[in-house]
Amino acid sequence: MRLVTALLLFASAAAAQAPEPFHQVCGACHTTVADDFRTHKHLAAGLDCNTCHGDSVEHRAAAGAAAPDRIAAPQQQAALCGTCHAENAAQYNESVHGKLVAALERGPNCGTCHDVHRVRTARATERRCQTCHEQRPAACMAEPSAAKFSVSCANCHTPHLFHAAE
């Protein structure tokens, strides 16, 4: 009996030390998002659902009937992602894209190009560019002088600044 009590105490102490990670807690209802998130470098880097959405206790208790603590609107994403990706966000804020989004006009935010819960492949990112830029000047079809990025457009247009001529 004493052994059982000791084991139970040990088990609850272990549970207190290692609470269930958020992608499991939230993933009970958000299966697809949680599966996507498991493939993102963010998980290995120690981020979890609550980093961007808060603990969302009421939301969970109400099974979605109460809003989560935080959900970044398109024009708030650069600030959210920029807490860690400061340089990318600063360049983006300077860009035509960033200025359009800040003005609540149609333009890409961080998640439009990268997705938020999984990382897009280079090809998929390029297809995102093409959904808005179907017509491109002939200059875009030339060979870049040096290929450093896997998204071909970025070899001529500095990522995040994306000026027309650089």
| Nearer CB in complex with ligand HEC: 102/111 | 111
| Nearer CB in complex with ligand HEC: 12/150 | 150
Q: Smallest distance, Å, CB 121 to ligand HEC?
A: 10
Stretch that binds ligand HEC, among 2-10, 12-20, 103-111 (CB under 6 A): 103-111
| Nearer CB in complex with ligand HEC: 11/64 | 64
Binding mask 57-86 for ligand HEC (x = CB under 6 A): --xx--xx--xx--xx-x--xx-xxxxxx-
Q: Are 109 and 77 in contact (CB under 8 A)?
A: yes
Among 9, 28, 66, 104, binds ligand HEC (CB under 6 A): 28
Tokens of 159: 């990522």
| Nearer CB in complex with ligand HEC: 8/71 | 71
Q: Of 114-153, which residues contact ligand HEC (CB under 6 A)?
A: 114, 116-117, 119, 122, 125-126, 128-133, 136-137, 139-140, 142, 144, 149-153
Q: Smallest distance, Å, CB 55 to ligand HEC?
A: 6
Reported as type and span, the H/E element at residue 6 is helix 2-17
Q: Are 155 and 144 in contact (CB under 8 A)?
A: yes
Q: Smallest distance, Å, CB 21 to ligand HEC?
A: 9
Question: What angle (nearest 5°) sits at the alpha carbon of residue 87, between those of residues 164 and 133?
Answer: 30
Tokens of 128: 């995102």
Verify binding: residue 14, ligand HEC, rule CB under 6 A: no
CB-based burial label for 61 (10 Å; 0-12, 13-18, 19+): exposed
Long-range contacts of 92-95 (CB under 8 A, 24+ apart): 92/160, 94/161, 95/160, 95/161, 95/162, 95/163
